[in-house]
Amino acid sequence: MRVFLSVLVLVAAAGAGIAYVQEAQPAWYERLRYPLSYDHIVVGHAANYDLDPALLAAVIYRESKFDAGARSSSGAIGLMQLLPDTAKGIAVHTGGSRFRVADLYDPEINVRYGAFYLRRLLTKYGDMRLALAAYNAGQANVDEWRAQDKGIAFAETREYVDSVLKTREIYAHAYRQELGLGQ
């Protein structure tokens, strides 16, 4: 009985410790749960397109969890899950002349195109939530919602926006130095 009580106390203490870590989310825990890859690419293109690098990292995490080879069932490709038609248009706007779908698997190109697109959406909508909604659900949907004064009509898109914004805070806290966010 004594051994049983000792084990029970240890299990309770371990559970309390795990609960504390999940609640407090120290930076080391956030780094384990939310990895950051390609930070030099993220920081470079964030600076290039006047974006918050933590926001750019959060979009990448939400879209692909930093898997450069990711491909969705809808055909979106790479770190920022860009559709080939969208990327082809971005390539033309950014001076590209030989776009190939395979280019979207290149982290540098994918993040450059995705950062360009995110900047364009932020400029168009002047609102981070609407820009993120357009990134997820498309500009036509957001334009329709705005015209009808509906807010973000899709529950999935509201969840996406909330998730990206929460993840942005985590990246800003856990990777402050790597993302060049100062002290």
- Same domain? For 169 and 89 the reply is yes
- Pair (57, 101) in one structural domain: yes
Say whether both 70 and 5 belong to one domain. Answer: no
Strand partners, 71: 77
CATH number at residue 71: 1.10.530.10
The pLDDT tens digits for 2-14 are: 665 555 555 444 4
Per the domain annotation, does 59 fall within a domain? yes
What's the pLDDT tens digit per position in 117-176?
999 999 999 999 999 999 999 999 999 999 999 899 999 999 999 999 999 999 999 999
Q: Which is more confidently placed, 43 or 23?
A: 43
Structure tokens of 100? 């190939």
Q: Partners of 82 in the beta sheet?
A: 77
Question: Average pLDDT in the 5-34 region?
Answer: 61
Q: Whole-angstrom Cα distance, residue 175 to residue 161?
A: 21
Q: Tokens 């995490």 label which residue?
A: 61
169 within a domain of the structure (yes/no): yes
| Within a domain: 182 | no
Instruction: Provide the pLDDT confidence category of residue 15 given band limits of 50, 70 and 90.
Output: very low
Domain residues for 57?
37-174
| Residue 77 shares a structural domain with residue 149 | yes
Evaluate whether 31 touches 171 at the Cβ level (below 8 Å): no
Same domain, 41 and 129: yes
76 and 155: one domain?
Answer: yes
Residues 103 and 16 in one domain: no
Same domain, 119 and 49: yes
Q: State whether 6 and 76 are in the same domain.
A: no
Is residue 168 assigned to a domain? yes
Q: Are residues 16 and 65 in the same domain?
A: no
Backbone dihedral region for residue 132 (phi beyond 0: left; psi -120 to 50: alpha; all else: beta) = alpha
Query: Domain for residue 154, yes or no?
Result: yes
Same domain, 58 and 8: no
Active site residues: 63
- Tell whether 151 and 132 lie within a shared domain: yes
DSSP label of 73: T
Give domain status of residue 180, yes or no: no
Query: How many domains, in total, are found in the chain?
Result: 2
Q: Is the pTM of this model over 0.75?
A: yes
Residue 114 in any domain: the answer is yes
Question: In this structure, is residue 165 part of a structural domain?
Answer: yes
Tokens of 81: 């899950």
Which DSSP string do the residues of 28-78 spell out, in sequence order? HHHHHHS----HHHHHHHHHHTT--HHHHHHHHHHHHTT-TT-B-TT--BT
- Which pLDDT does position 98 carry in this prediction? 86
